[in-house]
């Protein structure tokens, strides 16, 4: 199938799909698998605290991808903190010849002049259309709008992807992607029909063979369903959707029972290093392990290319169903 959207044209990819950045997991093998499947993946800069390590990972991806494009995700902290290195990271990315960045976390406005000077295309991730409008106003090139169904941080508005898509189609002038619970080709056709330039996927791709995570972790996702996620951290206005496990049960108990709870109270449970262990050991009982409603679609562990080919086949079938219920009118004789 030949796809022609603003996303495929601007990023130079075959299929209008982005494999979003994943903390600790989106590395050179991940983005290489995405690139070879005809989509774009993003190395997660926050997974490499040392700049030399990030530079080495980008170079490893460049060597493996050849001329195929990939990007880097820069998750900016909600507030500036002493020693913030975001500007330096952007310069490093550009120096290494990467042309696309996926940003998230806070308003990118302070960095837009720098990003333009560096020649970077900016895909900014937001949880709702109202934030997408702000991102458009400050000059980003594209936005990803990830709805309440997403794994990770769905924001506080909790607007679903279907509503986000319809609103964005009416409200935005720049290209937008729809994410959150996306993992089937029929959803791709629906998103395009609402005016999106493509979709962004995270959870659906966690069961790809190339993902550098324990097979036990991936198998747990295969066995999980769309009902096996839970929302926590809402008391801190930092809502996160993750796989339901022992940690989420304890966090929910503390949020309900501890007055004026703080992140320091929860850190022994929710530290990213705890979650990282699950990827290494396959034990998914502990840690906040980001996962969204697309768990209902993670039915097997398989190569990234096979996942994307199945999604494309589903998209073709969806398009054919549309043709059946909306046949083109016959030309007047």
Task: Write down how long the chain is.
Answer: 333
Residue 211 sits at φ, ψ, to 5 deg, of -65, 130
Sign for the CA dihedral angle at 75, 80, 83, 88 comes to: positive
Residue 150: the pLDDT is 96
Residue 212: the pLDDT is 95
Any idea which architecture 7-212+299-321 has in CATH?
Alpha-Beta Barrel (3.20)
DSSP 271-323: -HHHHHHHHHH--TTSS--B--GGGGG----B-HHHHHHHHHHHHHHHHHHHH
Q: What is the largest CA-CA distance in the chain?
A: 76
Task: Compute the chain's Rg from CA coordinates.
Answer: 20
Q: Alpha-carbon distance 224 to 176, whole Å?
A: 30
Q: Alpha-carbon distance 45 to 203, whole Å?
A: 19
- Paired sense of beta strands 142-146 and 121-126, if any: parallel
- Paired sense of beta strands 229-232 and 176-179, if any: unpaired
Residue in the block written with tokens 């009902």: 227
Q: Alpha-carbon distance 288 to 318, whole Å?
A: 35
Count of beta carbons in the 10 Å neighbourhood of residue 90: 23
Q: Alpha-carbon distance 168 to 3, whole Å?
A: 21
DSSP 217-271: HHHHHHH--TTSEEEE-GGGT--EEEE-SHHHHHHHHHHHHSTT--HHHHHHHH-
Kindly give the confidence (pLDDT) of every residue in the chain, 333 residues in length, as a single tens digit, with 9 standing for 90 and above: 899 999 999 999 999 999 988 999 999 999 999 999 999 999 999 999 899 999 999 999 999 999 999 999 999 876 555 557 899 999 999 999 999 999 998 899 999 999 999 999 999 999 999 999 999 999 999 999 999 999 999 999 999 999 999 999 999 999 999 999 999 999 999 999 999 999 999 999 999 999 999 999 999 999 999 999 999 999 999 999 999 999 999 999 999 999 999 999 999 999 988 989 999 999 999 999 999 999 999 999 999 999 999 999 999 999 999 999 987 776 655
Chain Cα centroid distance, residue 155:
14
Residue in the block written with tokens 């029972």: 257
Q: Which two tokens stand for residue 81?
A: 């903190």
Half-sphere CA count of 1, side-chain side, radius 13 A: 21
Q: Which two tokens stand for residue 95?
A: 């120096």
- Paired sense of beta strands 198-201 and 229-232, if any: unpaired
Kindly list the domain boundaries of the chain, sorted by start residue: 7-212+299-321, 229-281
Q: Alpha-carbon distance 166 to 162, whole Å?
A: 6
Sign for the CA dihedral angle at 267, 273, 276, 277 comes to: negative
Residue 78: the pLDDT is 61
**pTM for this predicted structure:** 0.94
Residue 327: the pLDDT is 79
Element at 189 (helix H, strand E): helix 185-193
Q: Alpha-carbon distance 146 to 180, whole Å?
A: 5
Residue 49: the pLDDT is 87
Q: Alpha-carbon distance 183 to 115, whole Å?
A: 31
């Amino acid at each position: 199938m030949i796809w022609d959207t603003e996303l495929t044209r601007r990023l130079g990819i075959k299929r209008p799909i982005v494999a979003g950045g994943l903390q600790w997991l989106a590395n050179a093998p991940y983005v290489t698998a995405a690139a070879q499947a005809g989509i774009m993946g993003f190395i997660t800069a926050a997974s490499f605290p040392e700049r030399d390590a990030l530079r080495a990972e980008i170079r490893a991806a460049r060597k493996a991808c050849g001329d195929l494009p990939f990007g880097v995700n820069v998750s900016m902290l909600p507030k500036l903190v002493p020693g913030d290195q975001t500007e330096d990271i952007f310069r490093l990315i550009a120096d290494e010849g990467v042309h696309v960045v996926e940003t998230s976390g806070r308003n990118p406005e302070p960095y837009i002049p720098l990003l333009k000077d560096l020649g970077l295309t900016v895909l900014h991730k937001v949880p709702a259309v109202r934030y997408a409008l702000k991102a458009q106003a400050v000059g980003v090139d594209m936005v990803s709008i990830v709805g309440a169904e997403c794994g990770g941080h769905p924001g506080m508005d909790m607007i679903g992807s279907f509503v986000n898509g319809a609103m964005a189609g009416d409200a935005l002038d720049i290209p937008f992607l729809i994410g959150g619970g996306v993992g089937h080709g029929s959803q791709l056709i629906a998103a395009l029909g609402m005016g999106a330039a493509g979709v962004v996927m995270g959870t659906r791709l966690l069961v790809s063979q190339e993902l550098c995570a324990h097979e036990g972790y991936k198998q747990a996702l295969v066995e999980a369903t769309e009902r096996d996620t839970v929302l926590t951290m809402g008391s801190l206005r930092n809502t996160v959707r993750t796989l339901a496990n022992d940690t989420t049960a304890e966090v929910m108990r503390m949020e309900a029972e501890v007055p004026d709870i703080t992140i320091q109270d929860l850190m022994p449970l929710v530290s990213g290093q705890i979650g990282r262990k699950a990827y290494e050991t396959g034990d998914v009982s502990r840690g906040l392990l980001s996962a969204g409603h697309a768990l209902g679609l993670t039915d097997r562990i398989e190569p990234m290319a096979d996942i994307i080919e199945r999604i494309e086949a589903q998209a073709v079938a969806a398009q054919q169903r549309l043709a059946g219920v909306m046949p083109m009118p016959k030309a007047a004789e």
